[in-house]
Amino acid sequence: KQWYQRRVAITAGDLRKLKVSPDSICQLSFQMANWRFKREFVGSYESCSTAAFKYGRTETIRPCTKETKACSIAFDKENPAQLDEMSELLSACSKKHNKLTKEAAMGAGFDRHLFALKFLNNKLNGAPLPIFEDPNHAKLNYIILSTSTLVSPALEVGGFAAVVPDGLGIGYAMFDDWFGTQASYYPPGNDGSEFIKELTGVCEDLKTVLNGKSFKESRQV
């Protein structure tokens, strides 16, 4: 199944005026929505072209970071984090995402290097490498949130299937005046409609904080 929604709470035009990376906020919103929906942080994938490096293939950006985790938790309505702290966490997420994007685009990500290491080791009949036997490696590569963006005036949004039975395939596009997101999923493993519902609330909360206000009414000063 798939679920699609177009919204205007946060847009590329507004984010650029605030000097915040639009893609970093898109990715943060997905992490935050999944946290509110599932109360967990999971293996996440974002594709990145390496055309600036060589041959134009792809590298992986890992958008689930300690920065997005801290920000997602701070944005819980019951969390005591105030406006200043939430704003600082947003800024930290943007800076970290920009750094990861630049590294991936220039061939300095780690996923393709690990893939090549594993491939060559298997081809040469080498002994099993401990890193690939580590359960954390398996967890990292079990991609629950698989995301990719395609921005074109000819398209409203692109989409693709989830890559694991309990995952979400998130296609998204952010324009100057709107933000579209499509979530594909395999019932009953996941529920894209609930994810999109949470995402709607997340975008409203992000917009409020980015505009210098708190959505935690009882704690406003």
Better pLDDT: 113 or 157: 113
Q: Please, what is the angle between helix 83-105 and helix 192-210, to 10°?
A: 110
Q: Are 183 and 3 in contact (CB under 8 A)?
A: yes
Express each pLDDT in 112-143 by its tens digit.
Answer: 999 999 999 999 999 999 999 999 999 999 99
Average pLDDT over residues 22-51: 96
End-to-end CA distance of the chain: give it in Å, rounded.
Answer: 44
As a whole number of angstroms, the distance between CA 30 and CA 8 comes to 16
pLDDT of residue 221: 44
| Percent of residues, the chain, with pLDDT higher than 90 | 84
At 73 the pLDDT is 98
Kindly indicate the confidence band of residue 155, based on its pLDDT and cuts at 50, 70 and 90: confident
The CA-atom distances, in angstroms, between 204 and each of 37, 75, 138, 221 are 16, 12, 34, 20
pLDDT tens-digit map of 170-220:
999 999 999 999 999 999 999 999 999 999 999 999 999 999 999 987 444
Partners of residue 183 on adjacent β-strands? 3, 170
The tokens for 75 are 């944005």
pLDDT score for 219:
46
- Residue 220: the pLDDT is 46
Closest CA to 59 of 46, 69, 41, 70: 46
pLDDT of 7 reads 87
pLDDT at 53: 82
Q: What is the mean pLDDT of residues 143-163?
A: 88
Tokens representing 176 are: 């100057």
Place of tokens 């689930």: 64
Predicted structure pTM score? 0.93
d(CA 204, CA 141) in angstroms, rounded, equals 31
Mean pLDDT of 45-68: 91
Q: What is the spatial distance between Cα 58 and Cα 41, in angstroms, rounded to a whole number?
A: 24
pLDDT tens, position by position, 78-94: 999 999 999 999 999 99
Short-list 57, 171, 43, CA closest to 113:
57
What is the per-residue pLDDT for 74? 98
| SS3 per residue for 142-165 | CEEEEEEECCCCCCCCCCCCCCCC
Instruction: Tell how far CA 35 is from the center of its chain.
Output: 12
The chain-wide mean pLDDT, for the chain, equals: 93
pLDDT over 80 (residue 157): no
pLDDT range class, residue 98, cuts 50, 70, 90: very high
